[in-house]
Structure 1
């Protein structure tokens, strides 16, 4: 069984659902190419951290 990172455990699923709905309801905004690259880099880093955390949890089982 894969263990969730502590930050994911502390987040209430209903508040996460509410936050997703808030973000979907926001109007779209134009961003520059540089801002898009920055956001993409942040998303990749976040995903990489999640994968690393999952791998460490799997090895501990």
Structure 2
């Protein structure tokens, strides 16, 4: 039950744009890490942006 509460609250703060969350117990970190780990689609998107930026020569 507590794990579900941590999962729900973490998803909420990720949706709000927070870039981190405090864990009060080490058992909470896997749930938090999972929520903040980018999906393969998000990684592909970011890599395309970086590639396009590099191609323009903009720093």
TM-score of the superposed pair, with normalisation by structure 1:
0.33
Higher relative contact order (CA 8 A, sep 6+): 1
TM-score in terms of structure 2 length: 0.34
